[in-house]
Structure 1
């Protein structure tokens, strides 16, 4: 009986799927490496990138002013000048508010050093009395150490120098980008009708950014006025500074309310003890929960189709990449990154990020967009 070799199964014909899979994996790997290199470059150049991002947002917000002026016959250079002037006015108002808040805070720290030391001593003694241990008491005392606040107040000079340097770049960027925005309307004539879908996405992105900041500025102003008046009625020192802080932190998604609450709450504890601390926390909680949690999201959701998880992560991520300004610019930066990375290729990834337009069509027709330029 002769041994017979087992039959060799016939190999399936190669239809090229393995090559395609290998090519897709290679492209995915190259994309990941490219993204990491871009993020590393942004981190190293954050002192230049952060002012650039702020300037881009400012130009996007004020650019629509150009269109009614040009329709009335204004020359292009005059309309550009108005756009630049309005952007500079916004920067001037913000700078004045920040400088005022910084000076008032520095004076306050000097005035309440004795009260703060007494409050720190009482907190440390209470922690030790309830058996939380000396280490926790020491940690709390060091966190509330008046010398740390004094160092912060004395470091306002260095902060102001950095602020002025960043402001210089912002002012320059605004001029260049406002001038360049006037020529974007010629993109379709230069590249043909095939570029129209991309221009439409840019217009939609810019419109979303504008609506987001208009809504946040409106609700931030309401929150700031209510919080400031409440703090003034409760006798909390420099309520105007804490109102400014509430307005600024309203632009930080999810955690802005907490950041705006901590300083006035600590000050309330210093000047009035635990009862006043609880009152301030209650007032802030009622005002901010009603406006920022229950009302504001209904107006923001149409402009920002991002999941809550992604919104929170974007604050941490962009703050790490470009610094503190990244917390305020986190939403438009995330929207721009989503458009650049996902575009129209990965609908399910866009849906996971919170874009509701992927899963369900809009109930009403979208807001008409200005067709003159991508910035419109």
Structure 2
């Protein structure tokens, strides 16, 4: 293929991607719950296999998968809603103390010579009314997901029922569609490993943060431990979201020393585990580079809404499985994305496949 033809192919591909992503963004109210239902179904699907091996009827195993998936969705939404509601309630309860802390902050910033623009920005950042609005906006996002629970439940129900049939795909089309089935199995296995790693580290972080906050005397340490667990499913930046409420309450209850102590605890525990250690395990579990994992959060949050932050890794893996893995000519892109199985072409047969894929009419 000539350089001109290659450039034309790249430009057409980028243009098509923009159109598709614009359509997904416009339909995010429909596709967000669909993606959540699909990921939950992928996570709980293996439950059926040990049950069927023990002689359970297929309908009973499917029912167990469905109920487990529903419980997972309810737990996620319930924990988020509870933590946000508690934060909003505490902001209202501690509003006088917050206002006093804000006034002290403004006086200190003015004393060190910062101009009015900087002090106004800091004032808006920690203003109690803005904090309540921030909590309300997060709550509205959770309520939007909660309002779509019926749709998500329906997706989990139907996908779990279909999953019982699709589990026989190896028997029916094993020889004819072996590559596709292997790619699908690799994707679903990667999604499950990712959430197992995230849940494990999230539980460790939640326990350590909760104990530290309890020892420091920050109000409602259990709530912030729950928030730390939930935000751990947001790669790299989740700990910052989980830090804001306890840090603000630490400022109100114990002043700057307690706030700095809370920040120090989160930096030691969360940065070491979530930012330095966990991404290595995640990248090993799903073969995804650290940079791409980080970028995925912002990208999918923009495309499909807040739920995209939690689903960012599975969505990125899906795009790679659909558009990069079937094409031998873009193995280098797979390798750049973190896929260590994307080795260079070494055999004559593989080179022939690459040549065919790169032909203008292919």
Structure 2 residue 41 is the aligned partner of structure 1 residue 59:
yes
Q: Which runs of 5+ in 2 are unaligned?
A: 345-362
Other structure's SS at 2:284 match = coil
Is the CA contact 2:85–2:139 (under 8 Å) kept in the aligned structure 1?
A: no
Number of aligned residue pairs: give it: 342
Higher RCO (CA-CA < 8 Å; seq separation 6+): 1
Is the CA contact 2:296–2:316 (under 8 Å) kept in the aligned structure 1?
A: yes
CA distance in 2, matches of 1:153, 1:339: 37
Partner of 2:331: 347
CA distance in 1, matches of 2:112, 2:185: 59
Structure 2 residue 13 is the aligned partner of structure 1 residue 48:
no
CA drift of 1:95 comes to 3.0
**Which has more helix, going by share of residues?**
2
1:329 to 296, 311, 317: 311
Larger Rg: 1
Relative distance call for 1:134 and 1:86 in structure 2 (3 A) is: same
RMSD over equivalenced CA pairs, Å: 2.2
Q: Which runs of 5+ in 1 are unaligned?
A: 1-16, 361-376
Q: What TM-score comes out, normalization by structure 2 length? A: 0.87
CA drift of 1:51 comes to 1.3
CA drift of 1:108 comes to 0.7
Partner of 1:364: none
CA distance in 2, matches of 1:296, 1:268: 27
Relative distance call for 1:157 and 1:251 in structure 2 (3 A) is: closer
1:34 to 16, 19, 40: 16
Is the CA contact 1:109–1:153 (under 8 Å) kept in the aligned structure 2?
A: no
Q: What TM-score comes out, normalization by structure 1 length? A: 0.84
CA drift of 1:121 comes to 0.9
1:187-236 per-residue CA deviation (whole Å, 9 max, x = no partner) reads 45655623111110110111111111011101101111110111111111
Structure 2 residue 97 is the aligned partner of structure 1 residue 125:
no
Other structure's SS at 1:194 match = coil
Is the CA contact 2:87–2:245 (under 8 Å) kept in the aligned structure 1?
A: no
Is the CA contact 2:76–2:230 (under 8 Å) kept in the aligned structure 1?
A: no
Relative distance call for 1:96 and 1:211 in structure 2 (3 A) is: same
Structure 2 residue 168 is the aligned partner of structure 1 residue 167:
no
CA drift of 1:152 comes to 4.4
Partner of 1:210: 192
4+ residue segments displaced more than 4 Å:
21-27, 152-161, 188-192
1:147 to 106, 112, 129: 129
